[in-house]
Structure 1
Amino acid sequence: MTPDVSRQRLRRGVPVLSCLLAATLLAGCAVGPDYHAPEIALPLQWANAPKQTPAAPRDLARWWLGLNDRTLDALMDEAVAGNLDVATAKARVREARANRKQAIAALLPTVAGSDSLTRNRTGNSAPSDTAPISGSPYTLYQAGFDASFELDIFGANKRSLEASTRALEAAFDDLDATLLTLLGDVASTYAEARGYQARVALARRTATSQRETAALTKSKFDAGSASAVDVAKAVAQAASTEANIPQLTAAYVQAVHRLGILLGREPSALAARMDRGGAIPAPRTALKAGIPADVLFRRPDVRRAERQYAQYTAKIGVATAALYPSVSLTGSITTSAQKAGDLARGSTIGWSWGPSATVPIFNAGSLLAAVDAAEAQRDQYLLTFRSTVLTALQDVENALVSLSEERKRATKLAESAKNYGEAARLSRALYQTGTSSFLDVLDAERSAYSAEDSLLQSRVAITTDWIALAKALGGGWDRPVDTSTRVVVDTGTLPHLIDVRVMDPVR
């Protein structure tokens, strides 16, 4: 079709489109319930939190910086960039965004153009006065477009847009929840790995000391001042301590493997970096718990549950609108001629436009059942929201009490480890001079190792409890996250030939 003909056709179609767009003014109401934020009773303060100034949300942003560990800081950045669960959550955001665009498109008219060129020959089965038995072949040119617009009188499309908007908001909250979980898992696993490293080092130091004690006992046995039983016990204790090393080493390696997977890499990708060693990260700052009501906007899982409740409230309106008539405006313009130059002439143009209505009369109650199902779904998401809030409150209270009590335990363990270490040193010195029995040395060394190992575990527990509190309070990532980049970039999507062998299920 020539450009002039196309422009003429578009100019003639403007009145039809104008009528369709003007009809949007009629679509101003919606059926179904309007969304209202759910009310939930919350305590005024945390039962296990120390008295402190309520925290602002920004106080929890990048909370892991309070552990003062540069290696951990770098791992956090790498995890956000490479974690596969985060990438999946980003894809869900893109999906929700595309669904919302489709819902917006349903509120606008649709226009489709058509062009055809056919070679025709007509004939009659019997002669008549008006038509010959057969005619000469001729070429027919046709062009036109159709437009339609659904009058959203009862708000089905508006409710669909509302639902898709809430779904998009929930997808962003789901991404935030995934980031929150990821950051907590990376920090906890990192702390556990450093803890295993420290416990392996302790076991090796202790075993070395115990081997020295066993050698001393053997010397005393050779001199006749110790028994063979003492020698056997000394060797056995050193071997028992050394037996812990493989188990702790395996736990450390497994923690490093978990870190690699969390970063979206192969399990052993971080082995060399982690093997360089490092201290158990310890909290340098206190986390402010604020008030229980803060979890309603801090915790992304709570926000997601609330947005999903709003989404399924809007879906009731979609189901309810199906009970009412639907009205559409349709219009079309066509032009046909046996010569291309005659297209768009007044005598070759035909048009039609007008409303059409569809009224549900009998459907055996399926539409009402759909409304009931939508209401039941809405109830489920309200209950899920309430359950999520209660779980969030429980998480905070549990983390608060665990952190507080573990700190008390660590204080006592530190005192215990210090005194047992001193007892082991003194008993060994006295044993060398012959003023103490080997049983005292054996008991003191065993107790000292146990106390120091328990202290290391308690330090790890303090850090993981602190991390759990940061997660429970809703601390997370505060930098922009790119959700627009696709994982798979398709090529060769224009029309092309394909190898039919790829569709053969048997090869």
Structure 2
Amino acid sequence: MSTNQNCQKDCAMSDARQPVGMLSGRNRSRAGSERLIGALSLALALGACAVGPDYMTPSLVLPAKFGAADQASTSAKPQLSRWWARFNDPLLNSLIEEAVQGNLDVATAKARVKEARATYRQTVGTLFPTIRNTDSATRQKSTSKASGGSDASSSQTIDQFQAGLDASWEIDLFGKNQRGTEAARYGVEATDEQLRLALLTLVGDVASNYVQARGYQARIALAQRTAAAQRETGQLTLTRFEAGAASAVDVANSAGQTSSTEAAIPSLEVAYAAAVHRLSVLTGRAPGDLTARMKRGGPIPRPKLPMPAGIPADILSSRPDVRQAERLLAQSSARIGQAEAARYPTVSLTGNIATTGLKVGDLAKSSSIGWSFGPTLSVPLFNGGQLKAAVEVAQAQRDQNFVGYQAAVLRALEEVENALVATAQERIRYQRLVASAEAYRQATTLSRSLYQGGSIDFLRVLDAERSLYSAEDALVASRITLATNYIALNKALGGGWDGVINASKPEIIDADMGPRLAVNHP
């Protein structure tokens, strides 16, 4: 029997098994083609439909300017790109670049970006048909007894081979898959913002800990200088005591004050070591790896103030946490449409074509060919209210994300206002501390001269030295606070890393993904 004859016979037999509306047989191929084209055209037209809300970015009412900002700071937009470079500290710049490459929190955020992108590609695949190959080989054996009551029997073995393709396509009549793809795309954008937020936090943490470390170095050096000066005063007191011009009480008070100043140094050393260890971990290193580089010393970074803050509306585009909250809101809105579409009928187109032969070689020539094609309609009739409840769940989640977006905006405004007030007030405090330290410095110099000349008692010297050390230590602490507030202001305004970040590189590369013998591992 020829191949065409086999095809006609198989298609005719197949037609007897098809439900009404299925297409089969050569004698109706033209009509079938017309129906197929019509069905595909209708499917494409209906596939443009969608249910559920169409997302629009919320319009929020924001103040015209920050309450703590003056006219000068609102007239210009803040320069947030590489804001830390304005400290003019090469080591700080290097540490931030190293942290961006080696920080583990950033690596985790990159992995989440890769996950979201893969999920998006996976979701996009639902919009397209799926095709799979189906091959099979079977061997059948039948045994029959001979006629006439004889005990003789005969057996026959038949081999059958089949090759074919199955295809299916869910027509997205009401946009369920399209809404799912939309939600996945918003999810990718949200994880991108999460990565930017991780970088913003990282840059701020590196800069803050660097400032703290330099500040502790400065305070340690101040304590050492003050203790050395107090030892000189103690030596002078001892000389005067030996000459009968000072009492033993003066000698004891001088030694006690020197020891008290030196006692502050170990605590400062502990805090300095903790800041350096945190810096090392932030850059992805072992805690002690930066100790040698930081021991070379350096000044406390000085910010350039005042700094423009712009207007509150700027944070909607500059803050990654605000942008992330808005993308999550968009994603939850798309999921409402996805849940709503599940309440509507679904139509799938399925089809297959198969060729069967007694030998593998027959599949290409002397074989029977059968095919089928047709739609499947699924209509949800009763599900105990589950689908409607799923829509309500999605709507409640959307409401939560909307509130979360509003909260993110308010939190950003609050952080900017706090940073503006803290920076402005610390500038005033710093100027007063400069004047205070200078005054106590003069008082200490005069008191030592007067004490050496015998004009005043030693308690006046002790009080002057104690006041000078306290004022100078407060001045150093104020420098640290000024730099820290400047960092906090840049973070609050949304200043972070704006360089290139490669989120596609995996942390672990799987070398062998192919089939192989299974090996049990502990």
Measured after TM superposition, the shift of residue 306 of structure 1 is: 0.2
Whether 2:231 is the aligned partner of 1:249: answer no
Over aligned residues, Cα RMSD in angstroms?
2.2
Measured after TM superposition, the shift of residue 48 of structure 1 is: 1.0
Aligned equivalents of 2:103 and 2:300: distance in 1? 24
Q: How does 1:192-207 map to 2 (within 5 A)?
A: 192-207=212-227
| Residue equivalent to 1:274 | 294
| Residue equivalent to 1:457 | 477
Aligned equivalents of 2:154 and 2:342: distance in 1? 52
Tell me: CA distance 1:92–1:164, structure 2 relative to 1, closer, same or farther (3 Å): same
Aligned equivalents of 2:460 and 2:153: distance in 1? 126
- The code of the aligned residue for 1:376 comes to A
CA contact (8 A) 2:77 2:309 kept: no
1:366 to 386, 391, 403: 386
- The code of the aligned residue for 1:48 comes to A
Please give the secondary structure, in 1, of the residue aligned with 2:347. Answer: strand
Tell me: CA distance 1:318–1:123, structure 2 relative to 1, closer, same or farther (3 Å): farther
- The code of the aligned residue for 2:331 comes to Q
| Residue equivalent to 2:493 | 473
Q: How does 1:83-482 map to 2 (within 5 A)?
A: 83-123=103-143, 135-284=155-304, 286-345=306-365, 348-482=368-502
Aligned equivalents of 1:243 and 1:125: distance in 2? 109
Aligned equivalents of 1:363 and 1:107: distance in 2? 26
CA contact (8 A) 1:193 1:256 kept: yes
Whether 2:104 is the aligned partner of 1:74: answer no
CA contact (8 A) 2:182 2:331 kept: yes
Aligned equivalents of 1:446 and 1:126: distance in 2? 123
CA contact (8 A) 1:20 1:109 kept: no
Aligned equivalents of 1:369 and 1:134: distance in 2? 64
CA contact (8 A) 1:20 1:149 kept: no
Larger Rg belongs to: 2
CA deviations over 1:271-296 (Å, ceiling 9, x no partner)? 00001000000013543211000000
Tell me: CA distance 1:63–1:124, structure 2 relative to 1, closer, same or farther (3 Å): farther
Identity %: 53
| Residue equivalent to 1:7 | none
CA contact (8 A) 1:66 1:285 kept: no
Tell me: CA distance 1:295–1:338, structure 2 relative to 1, closer, same or farther (3 Å): same
What is the count of residue pairs matched by the alignment? 485
CA contact (8 A) 1:148 1:331 kept: yes
CA contact (8 A) 1:221 1:227 kept: yes
- The code of the aligned residue for 1:264 comes to G
Q: How does 1:38-57 map to 2 (within 5 A)?
A: 38-52=58-72, 54-56=75-77
CA contact (8 A) 1:176 1:476 kept: yes
Measured after TM superposition, the shift of residue 19 of structure 1 is: 8.5
- The code of the aligned residue for 2:467 comes to S
Q: Which segment drifts farther, 20-29 or 271-280?
A: 20-29
Measured after TM superposition, the shift of residue 71 of structure 1 is: 0.6
Measured after TM superposition, the shift of residue 345 of structure 1 is: 4.7
2:47 to 23, 27, 30: 27
CA contact (8 A) 1:139 1:339 kept: yes
| Residue equivalent to 2:5 | none
Measured after TM superposition, the shift of residue 236 of structure 1 is: 0.6
Measured after TM superposition, the shift of residue 138 of structure 1 is: 2.3
Aligned equivalents of 2:329 and 2:144: distance in 1? 66
- The code of the aligned residue for 1:119 comes to R
CA contact (8 A) 2:69 2:420 kept: yes
Aligned equivalents of 2:199 and 2:75: distance in 1? 24
Aligned equivalents of 2:65 and 2:476: distance in 1? 33
CA contact (8 A) 1:20 1:329 kept: no
| Residue equivalent to 1:8 | none
Normalization by structure 2: what TM-score?
0.89
CA contact (8 A) 2:146 2:154 kept: no
CA contact (8 A) 1:42 1:293 kept: yes
Aligned equivalents of 1:426 and 1:358: distance in 2? 97
- The code of the aligned residue for 1:482 comes to N
CA contact (8 A) 2:207 2:487 kept: yes
Please give the secondary structure, in 1, of the residue aligned with 2:281. Answer: helix
Tell me: CA distance 1:20–1:343, structure 2 relative to 1, closer, same or farther (3 Å): farther
Measured after TM superposition, the shift of residue 25 of structure 1 is: 3.8
Whether 2:515 is the aligned partner of 1:498: answer no
Aligned equivalents of 1:406 and 1:378: distance in 2? 42
CA deviations over 1:169-194 (Å, ceiling 9, x no partner)? 00111111110010001001100100
CA deviations over 1:229-279 (Å, ceiling 9, x no partner)? 111111110011000000001000000000011111111110000010000
| Residue equivalent to 1:4 | none
Aligned equivalents of 1:133 and 1:482: distance in 2? 74
Aligned equivalents of 1:400 and 1:353: distance in 2? 69
Tell me: CA distance 1:72–1:207, structure 2 relative to 1, closer, same or farther (3 Å): same
Measured after TM superposition, the shift of residue 347 of structure 1 is: 5.8
Normalization by structure 1: what TM-score?
0.92
- The code of the aligned residue for 1:169 comes to E
Measured after TM superposition, the shift of residue 422 of structure 1 is: 1.0
Aligned equivalents of 1:110 and 1:83: distance in 2? 41
Measured after TM superposition, the shift of residue 116 of structure 1 is: 2.1
CA deviations over 1:329-380 (Å, ceiling 9, x no partner)? 0000011010233224586101111000111111111111111111110000
Aligned equivalents of 1:90 and 1:305: distance in 2? 18
Aligned equivalents of 1:241 and 1:251: distance in 2? 16
CA contact (8 A) 2:356 2:367 kept: no
- The code of the aligned residue for 2:281 comes to I
CA contact (8 A) 1:17 1:147 kept: no
Aligned equivalents of 2:277 and 2:38: distance in 1? 65
Aligned equivalents of 2:208 and 2:375: distance in 1? 64
Unaligned runs of 5+ in 2: 1-25, 27-32
Unaligned runs of 5+ in 1: 1-11
